[in-house]
Amino acid sequence: MTVWLLGDQLGPGVAPLDTADHVLLIEAHAFADRRRYHPQKLTLVFSAMRHFRDELRDRGYDVTYLRAETFGDGLDRYFETNPGDHLVGLRSPSHGADDRRRRLVEARGGTLTLVENDLFLTTREEFDAWADETGSGDDGSRTFRQEHWYRHVRRETGILMDGSDPVGGEWNYDDQNRETPPAEWTPPDVPRFEPDDITREVQTFVADRYDDHWGDPEGFVWPVTRTEALQALEHFVSVRLPEFGAYQDAMLDDEWALCHSLLSAALNLGLIRPREVVDAAVDTYESGSAPLNSVEGFVRQIVGWREFMRHVYRRSMPDLADANQLDQTEPLPPAYWTGETDMRCLSKAVEHVHDRGYAHHIERLMVLSNFALLYGVDPAELNEWFHLGFVDAYHWVTTPNVVGMGSFGTDVLSSKPYASSANYIDKMSDHCAACPYAKSKTTGENACPFNALYWDFLKRNEETLRGTGRMGLMYSHVDRKDDEEWAAIRDRAAELRARAEDGDL
């Protein structure tokens, strides 16, 4: 039996490999001519595929590894030597990918059977049964509730459970997870996986072929094998996890990683599985080496958000990709590509993405997405930027996070937008102290752009948002502003948009 695995299915233990003797891997290149992915993302995927090929060969598998322009070209070559072959693969979480693969194989006289993708912790059937049972996502209650799903999975799996109760008595410890590090704090080391010969060869190929892509090709630190991914996991649970929780929402001017796990790229490639990273974190808590608030916060990222996003994406596509309930139509400001802006928080977040293909979740949500939301950026354009810029980005990941949560293009994921003024960024970071903009000013010279755009956003979208749950407090502040204030806010917002367009923010 031949197993055809994709570049994000590099799990040495995936179920179809149990009965397979032959594995097909196609390293397709032309898709990245059309979509200008970050060079480190391309290096990561191609290098991980080549390492996976060698690992499988070492384990005795016969591996056909084809470098081709497209999957179609690769399959042409494969079926020339293997006419009529039957392939088995894992379902892809990306919308439409399974149908496209099946059509490509059948057009060449082969057949393709796709089985459950066991690189995820929960199955489609489990989520669908939960959604049906709870009425989540029905017309009557459009919003899928992450918190409900998270508790459901904890109960079903026993993860961090004490009988029928959550360990420690609470389902989450967010109130302990909103600290910013003191000035004398030293962040833990970032595990660095030096490029070997294979990775260096891929880096050269990527630099030659995709030489006009945005993003720094150097500074590559990402694990490309399962062994390295397990080392990264061990480093996280032993070194980074203890302080992860307390500082998980913090942002520091000179610090791109803080205590974040940095495991998302390896997880999304399939090098490690969600269950094993969760178990490693829980073991660390049980051995007394990490506090519960850290471990629970991490478990929620994996069991709650990651699995949840994948399922909501599946249930909400294809509409989700183009969802734009606020009719936001502004183009993305050039600063997202150049990083050239005096806005310290934005320039730092863009710099992190440019340099590493990575920014942590609060930079993603409360700086990069928040600014685009307030500015009025078309959610699909922002989604494309995230998709191209991040090493861990896949359509199933970015679309619910960026279009749903970040842009509030739809209310299937949250009942209110993640919109905030400079207040939040000032509270959770040290950026404002180093920024020429004045965090407390809304209008006038050097007023922080987040502030006028925030009020302008609430006013522009009043009809949709005022009646939305949990927006009452924000609109009570809106109601206190007089006509003169609104005129100044509108003028300031218009000026900021004109300056942003000119790359002068």
Interface residues with ligand SF4 (CB under 6 A) are 343-345, 422, 425-426, 431-432, 435, 437, 439, 448-450
Tell me the closest approach of the beta carbon of residue 363 to ligand SF4, in angstroms. 11
Q: Which is nearer to ligand SF4, 92 or 442 (CB)?
A: 442
User: In the bound complex, what is the minimum distance in angstroms from residue 350's beta carbon to ligand SF4?
Assistant: 12
Buried/exposed code over 432-454 (b: 16+ C-beta within 10 A; e: otherwise): beebebebeebbeeebbbbbbbb
CB nearer to ligand SF4: give 251 or 257: 251
Cα 32 from Cα 210, distance rounded (Å): 8
Q: At its nearest, how many Å lie between ligand SF4 and the CB of residue 441?
A: 9
Residues contacting 61, CB < 8 A, separation 6+: 17, 20, 21, 22, 23
Query: How far, CA to CA in Å, does 341 sit from each of 365, 416, 502?
Result: 19, 28, 11
Shortest separation between residue 485's beta carbon and ligand SF4, angstroms:
19
Q: How far is the CB of 453 from ligand SF4 (least distance, A)?
A: 10
Largest CA distance in the chain: 75
Residue closer to ligand SF4, measured from CB, 7 or 181: 181
Cα 94 to Cα 13, 31, 279, 306, 430: the distances in Å are: 21, 15, 26, 14, 37
- Report which secondary-structure segment, H or E, holds 415: none
The 3-state DSSP class for residue 54 equals helix
- Give 408 or 450: the residue with its C-beta nearer to ligand SF4: 450
Strands (E), 177-219: none
Which residue's CB is nearer to ligand SF4, number 213 or number 497?
A: 497
Position with the least CB separation from ligand SF4: 435
Nearer to ligand SF4, 121 or 448 (CB): 448
CA 285 from chain centre, in angstroms, equals 26
Residue placing its CB nearer to ligand SF4 in the complex, 150 or 437:
437
Please report how close the Cβ of residue 409 comes to ligand SF4 at its closest, in angstroms: 23
CB 175 within 8 Å of CB 154: no
Collapsing DSSP to helix, strand or coil, 25 comes out as strand
Helix extents (H) in 59-168: 71-81, 97-106, 124-134, 146-157
